[in-house]
């Protein structure tokens, strides 16, 4: 093909027909430009097709991750509600006549208050999308806004969870070890409690923990922190459910 065009140019030059040569040269340039534009269009189409396929695959993985995180969030809300209710019940025991209270009930409530939070939020797909630019391939501003805003909300939940765990580990557990009989607590509440039998410190009464201001303050802290975390998890759950609806509608 190139030899064919070169031969035409040569013949025109041989005949010294500069006008026709210029017209021909201009036409040849136009053809080249059209060819380049067509090639670019095909290349853009291929890139667009590839991006669309990659975006769909990424969205499908995001759906699975979001679904898993919603289930996790619901479980954590349930745990925090139990922890919150238990701490409130203990607070109501302070100042009451101990002869009307049950040590077994207190043990059970303390056991629920001791639950450490575990922020097992799955975000490998989201992090990949943010780091590689796959989030930007999604043709939905609403989805992209939700994805870009999710990490800060997750970090807020992680921060409070970390603080709660540190508070339990550094203050609540040491107090409990000193003033509560774990053996008695396990004997009355644990699945295999009957195997270990009751505590041999018969003179010890777990209800005596209610005599300490420090214990009251720690339980109050659990109540306050669990309230904050319940709100955080609920906000996270709302955002995740909204994101799931957007992702379901996207495809």
| pLDDT tens for the 251 residues of the chain, in order | 544 445 555 554 555 555 554 555 556 666 666 767 665 665 555 545 555 566 788 888 899 999 999 999 999 999 999 999 999 999 999 999 988 999 889 988 998 998 887 777 888 888 888 888 888 888 889 998 999 999 999 999 999 999 999 999 999 999 999 998 888 878 877 778 788 888 888 678 889 999 999 999 999 999 999 999 999 999 999 999 999 999 988 86
**Long-range pairs, 118-121, Cβ under 8 A, ≥24:** 118/161, 119/76, 119/157, 119/158, 119/161, 120/72, 121/69, 121/72, 121/154, 121/157, 121/158
What pTM was estimated for this model as a whole?
A: 0.74
């Amino acid at each position: 093909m190139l030899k064919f065009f070169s031969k035409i140019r040569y013949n025109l030059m041989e005949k010294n027909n500069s006008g026709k040569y210029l017209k021909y040269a201009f036409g040849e340039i136009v053809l080249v430009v059209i060819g380049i534009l067509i090639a670019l269009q095909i290349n853009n189409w291929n890139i667009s097709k590839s991006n669309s396929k990659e975006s769909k695959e990424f969205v499908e993985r995001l759906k699975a991750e979001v679904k898993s995180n919603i289930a996790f969030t619901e479980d954590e809300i349930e745990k925090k509600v139990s922890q919150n209710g238990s701490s409130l019940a203990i607070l109501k025991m302070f100042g009451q006549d101990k002869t009307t209270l049950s040590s077994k009930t207190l043990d059970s409530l303390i056991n629920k208050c001791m639950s450490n939070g575990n922020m097992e939020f799955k975000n490998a797909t989201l992090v990949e999308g943010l780091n590689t630019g796959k989030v930007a391939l999604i043709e939905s501003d609403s989805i992209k806004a939700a994805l870009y805003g999710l990490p800060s909300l997750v970090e807020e939940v992680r921060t409070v969870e970390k603080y709660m765990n540190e508070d339990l580990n550094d203050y609540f557990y040491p107090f409990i070890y000193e003033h509560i009989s774990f053996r008695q607590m396990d004997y009355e509440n644990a699945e295999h409690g009957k195997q270990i039998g009751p505590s041999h410190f018969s003179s010890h009464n777990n209800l005596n923990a209610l005599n300490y201001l420090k214990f009251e303050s720690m339980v109050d802290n659990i109540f306050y922190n669990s309230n904050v975390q319940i709100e955080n998890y609920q906000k996270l759950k709302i955002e995740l459910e909204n994101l799931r609806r957007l992702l379901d509608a996207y495809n």
